[in-house]
């Protein structure tokens, strides 16, 4: 049993992806083109939105989704409400977009933003709410959407880890105005690096296509110049080449064809991968309950489906051991883990300029000090899941 290894993450490059990669390399056309367009269409179909716009990272997906709002009257420095606990990219993206992050504490049993604390954070400068579906657990979107409607705010879902998550019969990524996904190697659908924004609004999608390419006015759904056709009826207007007319401040955030090929392979493998992850999550949940109150995890509600990214573990407040002791034991037994992020405003030095103090976000700070997560991905089976449980049981017997 001690020879069993439980790696945190995995990366799948399917045979179909390898075929496409060879085809693309042979063609010599590697920049954004027909396969990126195909990947966008397939991802939109999978999530259930009318549009999807691929970009170069999940952070860029968050950033560009927020930057869309300048076309609708947003001003530099406007405020975006985000959870205090998340991967730091969430807070960084708000700043990259030119806005001010306003942090709200999270709930211990969901790990997500506490919806009952949002309204107190809303001011006359509030522009949007960006809930994060952490570890694939949906945020309380009914309450969030009701607050957004009441105060005339936009909602951008940070769905970086929420591939396959469902909230009250609706796919995560279809509930807010836009949703931003990460396609990094650790995620269920991966392009190695990459991100994608989903929306039902074709105007948002046009702006996103402009933003990802420096803000240029050339923003058609499928650029014929990038598809191998040398002619474009829209290219020249009033003696100007539209590819060099820039309508807004933009970014350089395009996805390339090689990344799209890997993503297309993962979309085909999606039903199998999602099924394996859900089975692993359920097996962990069934066995893990016995470890309370020493070890805790999130609660799964009857009205939701978690799109499993990883399995969160929180050291109980009255536990007789530290997170470091627990993690060391897991590592010695071949089980890889990661800390469960930090309270961005009070535990990440990059946000110290905001002047927030330890104690202002007690739940996020507790999770930052006592949380971790382990893999439940598609390359793990019940043998590894049961081994994790045995290793934890062994640890707790000695404490």
| Cα gap 371→308, rounded to integer Å | 17
294 is a catalytic site residue: no
CB-CB contact of 84 with 344 (8 Å): yes
- Separation CA 169–CA 152 (nearest Å): 25
Place of tokens 């997560």: 373
Task: Give the C-alpha separation, 276 to 211, whole Å.
Answer: 36
- Contact indicator for 25, 177 with CB cutoff of 8 Å: no
Q: How do strand 170-171 and strand 178-182 relate by DSSP bridges?
A: unpaired
Check: CB of residue 351 under 8 Å from CB of residue 287: no
Give the separation between CA 365 and CA 342, rounded to whole angstroms: 7
Q: Catalytic residue among 133, 151, 163, 187, which? A: 187
Alpha carbon separation from 357 to 116, 126, 158, 354 (Å, rounded): 21, 22, 25, 9
Contacts of 263 (CB under 8 A, 6+ apart): 39, 43, 54, 183, 189, 190, 191, 194
For residue 259 the two structure tokens come to 């990344």
Distance CA 70, CA 60 (A): 16
**Residue length, the chain?**
399
Residues whose CB falls within 8 Å of the CB of residue 54, separated by 6 or more in sequence, listed in order: 32, 36, 39, 40, 43, 191, 194, 195, 196, 254, 255, 260, 263
Active-site residues, by number, are: 187
């Amino acid at each position: 049993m001690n020879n069993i290894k439980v790696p945190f993450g995995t990366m799948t490059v399917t045979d179909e992806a390898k075929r496409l990669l060879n085809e693309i390399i042979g063609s010599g056309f590697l920049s954004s083109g027909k396969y990126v367009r195909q990947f966008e269409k397939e991802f939109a179909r999978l999530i259930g939105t009318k549009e999807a716009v691929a970009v170069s990272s999940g952070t860029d997906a968050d950033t560009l989704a927020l930057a869309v709002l300048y076309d609708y009257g947003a001003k530099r420095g406007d405020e975006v409400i985000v959870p205090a606990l998340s991967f730091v990219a969430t807070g960084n993206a708000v700043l990259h977009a030119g806005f001010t992050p306003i942090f709200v504490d999270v709930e211990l049993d969901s790990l997500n933003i506490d919806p009952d604390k949002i309204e107190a954070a809303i001011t006359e400068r509030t522009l949007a709410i960006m809930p994060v579906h952490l570890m694939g657990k949906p945020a309380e979107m009914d309450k969030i959407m009701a607050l957004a409607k009441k105060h005339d705010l936009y909602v951008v879902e940070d769905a970086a880890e929420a591939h396959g998550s469902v909230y009250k019969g609706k796919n995560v990524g279809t509930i807010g105005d836009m949703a931003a996904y990460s396609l990094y190697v650790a995620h269920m659908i991966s392009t190695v690096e990459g991100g994608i924004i989903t929306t039902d609004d074709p105007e948002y999608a046009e702006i996103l296509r402009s933003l990802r390419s420096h803000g240029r006015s050339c923003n058609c759904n499928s650029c014929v110049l990038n598809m191998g056709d040398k002619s474009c009826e829209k290219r020249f207007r009033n003696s100007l080449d539209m590819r060099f007319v820039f309508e807004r401040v933009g970014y350089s955030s395009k996805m390339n064809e090689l990344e799209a090929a890997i993503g297309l392979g993962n979309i085909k493998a999606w039903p199998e991968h999602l099924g394996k992850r859900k089975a692993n999550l359920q097996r962990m949940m069934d066995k893990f309950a016995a470890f309370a109150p020493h070890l805790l995890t999130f609660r799964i509600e009857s009205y939701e489906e978690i799109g499993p990214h990883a399995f969160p573990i929180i050291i109980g407040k009255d536990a007789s051991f530290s997170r470091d002791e627990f993690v060391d034991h897991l590592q010695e037994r071949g089980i890889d883990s990661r800390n469960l992020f930090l309270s961005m405003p009070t535990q990440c030095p990059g946000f110290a300029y905001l002047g927030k103090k330890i104690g202002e976000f007690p739940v996020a700070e507790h999770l930052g000090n006592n949380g971790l997560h382990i893999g439940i991905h598609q390359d793990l089976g019940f043998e590894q899941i049961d081994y994790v449980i045995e290793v934890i049981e062994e640890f707790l017997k000695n404490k």
